[in-house]
Structure 1
Amino acid sequence: MRSSVCIALVVLVLPVVQTFVPVGNETTHVTITQNAVMKKIYEVCEAVAESEDREFKPSGSSAEELLCACLGTNTGQVSGAKFHEALNQIYIQNGIVDRDYASSNPHHFNSEAFTEGHSLISQGVAAVKANIREDNLQAARETLGRVLHTLQDFYSHSNWVELGYKITYANLIKPDLTIDNVAEVDTPTCSDCASGTCSNPLLPSILKEKKLTSGYMGLNSPNKPNGKCSHGGGADLTSTQVPRGGINKDERLSHNAALHDTAVALAIDATVDLLEDVRGAVGNKEYLRMMGIARTAVLCFVIDTTVGMSDGIAEAKRVAHSIIDSKKGTLDEPSEYILVPFNDPSFGPLIRTTNPDVMKSEISKLTAEGGGDEPEMCLSGLQLALTGAPASSHIYVFTDASAKDKHLESTIIALIRSTKSTVSVFMTEKTRPARVLHMQGRSGFQVYYNLALASGGQAIEVTKANLPSATDIILDTSTAALVTVLQRARIPGHVENFPFLLDASLSNVTAYLTGNNLRFTLHNPSGVSQPHTVSNGPLATIQTVGNLQRLHFNLNETGLWSISMESTEAYTIKVTGQSATTFIYDFVEEFSGPHSGFALIEGRPQKGLPAKLLLTMTGQKGAEALELQEVALVEVSDASVVNGTIEEMGDGNFLVTVNQVPEGEFVVMMKGKDMTTSSYFQRQTTTQMSLSKVIIKAVVGSAMVPGKEFEVPFTVSTDGLGGVFTISAKNDKDFPLKYNPQLTVNTGGNASGTVKVTPPASTASGTDVTLTILAEGPRAEDSNYAVLRLSVVAEVTDFSSPKCEIVGVSPICPSDCIQSTWDLSVNITDGNGTGIERIYIQKGSGNLFYQSVEDGGITVVMGYYNASCCSPDVIVTAVDKEGNVGRCTYTVQRSGGVSPSLSLPLWACLLVSALSIMHDALPL
């Protein structure tokens, strides 16, 4: 029964896999990865549910319903946006290997580069495991995507399938093993195929001796060693040289259909195997977090700890404790808590935890010291938060002073755009009224208004006495399934009506208006109105704090609402609510080559070209219950709205092309229909974006090593004004950087530069560094940026896995499992490795007990597992300090079967009363 449910899920979530390269709207490296990823997520969710003694039964076949079942609830507002966002980070990096490493043989196992390709996989998997251990999950996902591309290419580009193998090549994901029996460089491997469509051109001697080879690929030269197979295809220049043709199985064609189908199946199986290795090293729950299975709310504070902010610190403590206590155990419970203090001249460290009690303790430790009314290191602290928090986070800044580090403003805006995070700033002044504070805000505090506007957050001017009222916005926005229905800014303000749709899925609808002397009227679809002068009216409760007006809607009548503004001073409007119906997007560009496709644009899209977006819709019942009707780019400070053309790509994914992009800052708006409620919805992003004639591109090829200089090459091009460009590079870990701050770029041309990064020798393996490279044109007329995540991974010398041996099983379980238990005993050793770091139950709902003993100079961990006969399966996993994994797997037999008659050791019985380790991993 379990298998049939899982298969149904995978088939419905994924398009049919036909090729390894793009055909129409399908890129099968991505769909192969999706297939394997979803299969493994289902399996791990099932194991976690079993360990928690709860049912795992998705209510439907969509990824969103899988998410709900995995989190343990099939009710309430659970957004799939961050789940899709996390998975897309894997998929995008998988596909981009064909652009960034098109000519790299190891990345594709071309030209018999087996040893080098194997090394790439080993190094990449080590980086993924180290990143997860350091809680750098986005870096882990991006590296994982690239590694999986290389692994999958082995089965399409080598002759593994032609040799008759029907199982995966296990050595590929085992760093301690080698790639065996590779054809020597002077050994011919293929016969000539004039038509280029021979079903199997490999020489009989290669097939008989089972010699491993792969096709040679020449993008710039037709040369290849004599007698060697070519990759094949129009882009491969070697395929016209004898022996002609090729052996790639990237596309399903008439002459290679069976070989291609086998290659696809093995690529999926190999991907599952690699994912299982990662899952074993990090544990079930951390694996699911890496895959985006987590509640959507994240609580992130950036707090000024100077003496002048003592009241603000006290309020931040109160708010944080209140939120943590009120949301614990609910759907709104944050999945992660982040705290970054800043002062002068210090800032940080970033404190991150999934444990609410740990965060309460850390916030309680904050004390006010030093500083005063002088500028503080606010933007440095905010930079840490933006790079440390998950994408699309809400970040709350508390300060009473201007920023000393204003030079970071461009870097912060680049990070905001890259992460799509929202920044709200609570600006306080001890005794001065809001009017005076407002006058100061447009000078010393201007940078905070800029950042709030760019991110779609709030810049809230409030006295410290009224700060408790203003922080209601944190309670509103640190919640699950938060969506934005409308956001606009008018500088200066003018009379205007702002319509917006409220649909049946929305709850807790709230509007925020910031500005001075605000005058407005709220209208519902039935014609009922409420002016700003009525604080408790038929439509909303209006709360005024400083420059903020908070409208909490009393009812959610569906249809077209509006806010009519009458003010002439600057103002912003934002309408939010809770709903699982939302979307995620990325600006992309097409790339050509042997395997063309779409690549993520890291900076601002290019001016003068159509803008392209990859958009994913998500809802409570999956994308199939939603109908996308309109996608537009909306200028935030103007009434300009430009619709795009929509091309459906399947599974809730769409390619949107906008030919005439707004000139100013814009956001993305989506409209559609919910088929389950027959109501129309409207959603929009909050992060502002604009176009640039400056393009900056950088590629990271590998991980950094502690203590060693690492080079990041980049290229700057422009269709605008040429001349001397100013280059600026920043990183969130303050690692030493070397680069030329000036680069000459001619109009219509490009120029290359290098940023050299040196992580200190003491840097922990798995540390992730966010590097932002900014390029500003002559006279500061235009600029752009690239944001890169670099991993620091120490050189790995231990590749041997721990050994797990079953030494006792008793007894056989009866048919009636409810009143019976069974036992298992194991011995675990690590030989000459780095030592066992932890042992845990990967599958099973029983109890594990263990102790370490010395036996002939070797440390042996003796473990004892006890479980109900209703939980017959167990996987005991041991992980060493390098992330190598060893397992014992067992399924107890029922009455009438034959079971090993191994006796349970006496120490196990004594150990039960002394030690208790339940379900998840604990260190030795």
Structure 2
Amino acid sequence: MVSLIIVGVILFWGAFPLPWTTAFTPLSSTGSLTHREITQMAILRKTAEVCRDIATAEGQQFTLVIDNRLTVSAVRKACSSSVLSELRFYGAILGIYLSNAAIDAVFVLSAKHHVDNEAFREGRSLITQGVASVKFSMQQGSYICARVTLGGVCHTLQDFYSHSNWVEMGNTVPFRNLTRPDLPLNNLAGPDTQTCRNCIGQNCGENILPEILLQKKLTSGYFSLFFSTKPAGKCSHGGSSDRTSTREPVGGINKDEISSSHGSYHYRAADLAINATMELLEDIRLAAGNLAFLGLMGLSRTSLLAFVIDTTGSMSNDIEVAKRVSFNIIDSRRGTPNEPSEYILVPFNDPGFGPLIRTESTDIFKERIRSLSASSGGDFSEMCLSGLLLALAGAPPFSDIFVFTDAPAKDSELQNTIEAMIESTRSRVTFMLTKPFSSRRKRGVLESQRILSRAMSQPEVQLYRDLAHVSGGQAIEVTKSTLSQATTVITDGSTSAMATVLQVMRSPAKAENFSFVLDSSLSNVTLYITGVSPIFTLYSPTGVSQSGSETDGPLGSIQTVGNLWRVKLNSDVQTGDWSISINATSYYSIKVIGQSSVDFLFHFLEQSERGDLTPKDNRPLIGENSTLFLSVTGEDSVTLTDVFLAEVSGSDTVNGTITAVGGTDFLVYLQKIPEGAFVVQMKGLLSNSSSPDRFQRQSPTQFRGSRVAIKVQSNGIVEPGNPFSLSFTLATNAAGGNYTIQARTDRNFNVSVPGSLTLDEGGSAQGTLTLIAPSDTESGSDVTLTITAVDPGSTDSNYVTLRLAVMAEVTDFTRPVCQVVKIKADCPVVCSSASWELYANLTDGNGTGIAKVFINIGNGSLSTSQVMSENGTNVTVAFYNASCCSPEVQVVAVDEVGNVGTCFTSIKRISDNNTIAIPTTNTIFSRCYFVSVSMYLLLCNLIVFFVW
């Protein structure tokens, strides 16, 4: 999935970690908490809180206990009772903590990214600019880009608690000034201030100078992989990788693991990192709103309907079929768990394509697709792959995208870029290929002037077949009159939680038997078979068989149209070992899918220069060992028995060695990457029943290894109108030569890149790319940049995909201010018989202005109006009215750049026996600056209680 979720994480090869680390371990550590666990705990707790608040507001019960023991499956079930796929929820979390882990590889020597070398101001700037970017991206619905940035921000924030002396100073709450540029960073140790003394042997427990702790001076350890120099008397990070720790004062202060220099503080540092991450997520949640926050976490997305449609003259009937199918899906599923939550439409023609329309509104989607019409089209070939590229970049990962066309691709040079996007997003592409009419209209030529068209040649069709098979989709070839019969695959594909059990393709065809396991979590099991005159027989676990010629048989119903056979198994499908024997005259493919929350995610890892396992964001190296980070969704506990790479065109496999790393996460060590295309398959046991239930899953997407690698370092932020440059390194473990370099964006931004780089055998070369976003590009937009490198013989290639945020520089970090003008309350013991009122003035000073005001806590009504103060400041006047039975309110104000202010007021107090409302008619005047929620709760309650 997750490749687009990591900005520019393309590294060199390597698989196994060295015995040293320099931050909370990214993904795996025995007995210690990792960045992965810290990030996931914070996300699950905050997501559960959001779902609890939504349930409470709707008068529903929420019984899930919110603590650090939450699982993805438990939170998903508490947040949604639908058959919502956990793949996107888990995928969103995975994307965030993989981009977190990637910081250790991409910015290995950057002090500010790890808050090393006392780089507190620089680290805070990274955090605050990053959070602003996350909020802008969420406003534009660019959740993938927001997750990338959020992961990096969380890494820097979490490293502060491991690398500084905040814990050693006795602090038990997060350092909120680190995320608040409007608050001062005081009491930092100066550049000449000595902070540490030598450790005594291996004992570093008291190496921070007592006066530093007494005076509450903030410091962090110095770190270098290569040099031992550091300012005199300064603390070091520590560990065998840190050369500075050998220079007096020797030793270190990091708390990355329990075995670290200050390992006794590890769990306290990790706990503070969790709480600080939760506070950061709360700020983002309040700025964006609950629904947008759930979208960021992948929880507001169920099924997706995505169409890429050829609008040339001969496509009139096809467009009408697409309209009917989409309207039927929308209307028949309205109000059900399988109602699409998002719609994407990309038209293409010649020479034009796009724009991409992405909406959550059924009315807007219907209007846009209803307005499509077939006209003109130039010559026979069309800009199909350009339209598909827009859809792949705009759709969430794991989407099913359906392409309607009757013409070959004019832009076939995009094949490498499309394959890179497919591997990155793990989206599936199905081509609905129809035979064209006997003529197609030429642009600018009278309708009466026609030319004879031709059917697509086999190489032209094969391009679509290849892309479909790489993605795990299909190339369905039908006549225009039978297209509507083939659209059942669209209905199936737009249903949420579809898992792939098995998918194979043979070209040329050969007689073969394939076995697969169906488990009790699967429903709506369907087989798709495409090919030229395939002959097949399906066998159940009990030996019952049904041939492909039996329309209605003992195992299911079979529908045939064009080159597609759709086998829908009966609802009482047996669990256990199934098999299918098949042959065809030219080629065939088999796909077995079913609806289930049990699925899996995986990502290739490699060893960073710091020695940790970090994500690899492109093709792994052929012949080298590698590591998979694999997560099973839908269960709280599973047993994996087999994980292997299976060759697509053969029967060879590479078996992996499995190591559990907590929950349903696993590391899988592989001895080598195959030469050809492969898929990832896994088998195991589900523990959701009294007896273990065998299950099998496969990645629908095909992958390839490569002998060339690309490494890119990027901060991921593009400023409109200004050149954005990044350097990349090309390296090979094979013969050298002249490698072709291409770079493209999904938004047609101006990109300049060297056309080629020359590598010696086993060597490397440097290149620089420059990208310019138009000056009118809206902040929060994103752009997907794909860089591909092709070897001299055009037989091998690799790529890097970067999801870059486009954002103008943010200079306003001042939060809105609240002045409570009056509280009027006369609340009797029987609270339901009366109400109370609050009046407040909300201002943003010299900031960008208040964009929205809403109630986060409280069941009353809120109204606002705009006035001008005597000094010319815009004031938002808020009036709140609620029943005395709802004695608390939290007013939230968000300005134009996402700065959040929260104001909590309560008219209740705690007595010895119960909670009672406080009767008061006093007018309370106070100037309440928006600080943290917990601090403001204390402040405002003190004000109210004192006046009373």
- Please state if 1:66 is matched with 2:75: yes
Structure 2 vs 1, CA of residues 897 and 868 (structure 1 numbering), >3 Å: closer, same or farther?
closer
Q: Where does 1:55-134 land on structure 2 (aligned, <5 Å)?
A: 55-58=61-64, 62-71=71-80, 73=81, 77-134=83-140
Q: Which stretch shifts more, 838-847 or 519-528?
A: 838-847
- Separation of aligned partners in 1, 2:675 and 2:240: 40
Aligned residue pairs, count: 878
Once residues 676 and 180 of structure 2 are traced to their aligned partners in structure 1, the CA distance between those partners, rounded to angstroms, is 52
Of residues 339, 352, 372, the one that matches 1:333 is 339
Structure 1 pair 820/588, CA: closer, same or farther in 2 (3 Å)? Answer: farther
Q: Does 1:649 align with 2:661?
A: yes
Give the counterpart letter for 2:472 in structure 1. Answer: G
Partner of 1:563: 580
Instruction: Give CA-to-partner distance per residue, 1:364-396, whole Å, 9 cap, x none.
Output: 222223216521111111111111111111111
Work out the CA distance in 2 between the residues paired with 1:807 and 1:455.
60
For the residues of structure 1 that align with 2:320 and 2:464, how far apart are their CA atoms? 22
The one-letter amino acid of 1:54's match is Q
Deviations 1:286-341 (A, max 9, x none): 01110121243111111112222122222111111111121222111223211111
Other-structure match for 2:732: 718
Which whole-Å CA distance do the structure 1 matches of 2:349 and 2:96 have between them?
37
The SS at the match of 2:592 is strand
Change in CA separation of 1:641 and 1:296 when aligned onto 2, cut-off 3 Å: farther
Partner of 2:929: none
Q: 1:601-620 counterparts in 2 under 5 A? A: 601-619=616-634
Q: Relative to structure 1, is the Cα distance of residues 873 and 672 closer, same or farther in structure 2, using a 3 angstrom cutoff? A: farther
* Separation of aligned partners in 1, 2:245 and 2:540: 68
Give me the whole-angstrom Cα distance separating, in 1, the residues matched to 2:639 and 2:768: 46
Structure 2's unaligned 5+ residue stretches are 1-21, 440-451, 910-914, 926-948
CA distance in 2, matches of 1:521, 1:780: 40
What does residue range 81-230 of structure 1 map to in structure 2 within 5 Å?
81-195=87-201, 197-230=203-236
Alignment counterpart, residue 272 of structure 1, candidates 275, 278, 289:
278
Q: Does 1:637 align with 2:649?
A: yes
Alpha-carbon deviation of 1:774? 0.7
From the superposition, tell whether residues 403 and 645 of structure 1 become closer, same or farther in structure 2 (CA, over 3 Å): same
Name the CA distance, whole Å, in 2 between partners of 1:82 and 1:646: 24
User: 1:150, CA displacement in angstroms?
Assistant: 0.8
**Equivalent residue in structure 2 for 1:20, among 11, 20, 24:** 24
Question: Contact between 1:342 and 1:348, CA under 8 Å: does it hold in 2?
Answer: yes
**Relative to structure 1, is the Cα distance of residues 730 and 319 closer, same or farther in structure 2, using a 3 angstrom cutoff?**
same
Out of 30, 41, 46, the residue aligned to residue 36 of structure 2 is 30
Equivalent in the alignment of 2:938: none
Which of 474, 478, 486 is the aligned partner of 2:490?
474
- CA deviations 1:258-279 (Å, max 9, x no partner) are 5434322222221111111111
CA contact (8 A) 2:32 2:257 kept: no
1:363–1:199: structure 2 CA closer, same or farther, 3 Å change rule? Answer: same
Name 2:636's counterpart in structure 1.
623
Whether the 8 Å contact between 2:738 and 2:757 is mirrored in structure 1 is yes
Deviation track 1:383-424 (CA, whole Å, cap 9, x = no partner) reads 111111111111111112111111101000010011111000
Q: Secondary structure of 1:778's partner?
A: coil
Equivalent-residue separation in structure 2 for 1:744 and 1:185 (angstroms): 45
Code of the aligned partner of 1:299: L
Summarize the alignment of residues 506-525 of structure 1 with structure 2, pairs less than 5 Å apart: 506-525=522-541
Q: Distance in 1 between matches of 2:236 and 2:23?
A: 19
Amino acid aligned to 1:68: K
Task: Give, in angstroms, the shift of residue 872 of structure 1.
Answer: 4.9
Q: 1:676 pairs with 665, 685, 688, which one? A: 688
Work out whether residues 417 and 689 of structure 1, in 8 Å CA contact, stay in contact via their aligned partners in 2: yes
Change (3 A) 1:295 1:815: farther
Structure 1 residue 254: Cα displacement:
9.1
Q: Name the amino acid aligned to 2:715.
A: G
TM-score normalised over the length of structure 1: 0.91
State how 1:454-853 maps to structure 2 within 5 Å.
Answer: 454-555=470-571, 556-593=573-610, 596-619=611-634, 622-624=635-637, 626-677=638-689, 678=691, 679-811=693-825, 822-853=836-867
Whichever residue aligns with residue 881 of structure 1, its letter is: E
AA at the equivalent of 1:577: G
- Whole-Å separation in 1 of the counterparts to 2:454 and 2:597: 37
CA apart distance, 1:756: 0.8
Aligned partners of 2:215 and 2:33: how far apart in 1? Answer: 35
Distance 1:439 1:317, change over 3 A: closer
Task: State the AA in 2 paired with 1:901.
Answer: T
How far did 1:635 drift?
1.8
Question: Structure 1 pair 113/543, CA: closer, same or farther in 2 (3 Å)?
Answer: same
How is 1:866-905 mapped onto 2 (pairs within 5 angstroms)?
866-867=881-882, 871-893=886-908, 896-898=916-918, 900-902=920-922
1:256-267 correspondence runs (5 A):
256=262, 259-267=265-273
Aligned AA for 1:221? Answer: F
C-alpha distance in structure 1 between counterparts of 2:70 and 2:811, whole Å: 43
Deviations 1:845-864 (A, max 9, x none): 44322222222222222223
Tell me which of 371, 374, 383 is aligned to 1:377.
Answer: 383
Coordinate RMSD, CA, aligned: 2.5
Which amino acid in 1 is paired with 2:918? V
Match of 1:287 among 272, 283, 293: 293
Structure 1 counterpart of 2:11: none
Residues 500, 593 of structure 2: 8 Å contact kept: yes
Cα drift, residue 457 of structure 1: 0.4
Query: Following the alignment from structure 1 to structure 2, what is the Cα–Cα distance between the partners of residues 765 and 260?
Result: 39
Alpha-carbon separation, structure 1, partners of 2:484 and 2:83: 27
Q: Residue 411 in 1 paired to residue 420 in 2?
A: no
Q: Secondary structure at the match of 1:444?
A: helix
Q: Matches of 1:792 and 1:254 in 2, distance apart?
A: 39
Amino acid at match of 1:761: S
Deviations 1:714-746 (A, max 9, x none): 111111121111111111111111111110111
| Cα distance in 2 between the residues matched to 1:867 and 1:319 | 47
Higher relative contact order (CA 8 A, sep 6+): 2
Q: Note if contact 2:472-2:503 (Cα within 8 Å) is conserved in structure 1.
A: yes
SS in structure 1 opposite 2:459? coil
User: How far off is 1:819 after superposition?
Assistant: 7.0
AA of the residue aligned to 1:898: I
Distance 2:839 2:32 in 1: 49
Matched, 1:447 2:463: yes
The range that moved more, 875-884 or 640-649, is 640-649
Q: Deviations over 1:158-198 (max 9, x none)?
A: 22233333322211111223422222222222233352523
Question: Is 143-152 or 264-273 further displaced after alignment?
Answer: 264-273
The CA distance in 2 between the partners of 1:456 and 1:815, in whole Å, is 65
Query: Matched residues in 2 for 1:706 and 1:503: separation?
Result: 51
Return the alpha-carbon distance in structure 2 between the equivalents of residues 732 and 561 of structure 1: 42
Contact 1:115 1:178 in 2 (8 A): no
Are the structure 2 counterparts of residues 804 and 424 from structure 1 closer, same or farther at C-alpha, using a change threshold of 3 Å? Answer: same
Question: 2:513·2:579 contact (CA, 8 Å) conserved in 1?
Answer: yes
Tell me the equivalent position of 1:425.
Answer: 431
Residue type at the aligned position of 2:650: D
Q: Among the aligned pairs, what percent are the same residue?
A: 48
Q: What TM-score do the two structures reach when normalised by structure 2?
A: 0.89
- Cα shift readout 1:330-370 (whole Å, capped 9, x = no counterpart): 11122321111111111111111222222222222222232
Distance (whole Å) between structure 2 residues aligned to residue 361 and residue 164 of structure 1: 61
1:14 maps to what in 2? none
Q: Could you tell me how far apart the structure 1 residues matched to 2:193 and 2:286 are?
A: 40
Shift of residue 699, structure 1, vs aligned partner: 2.0
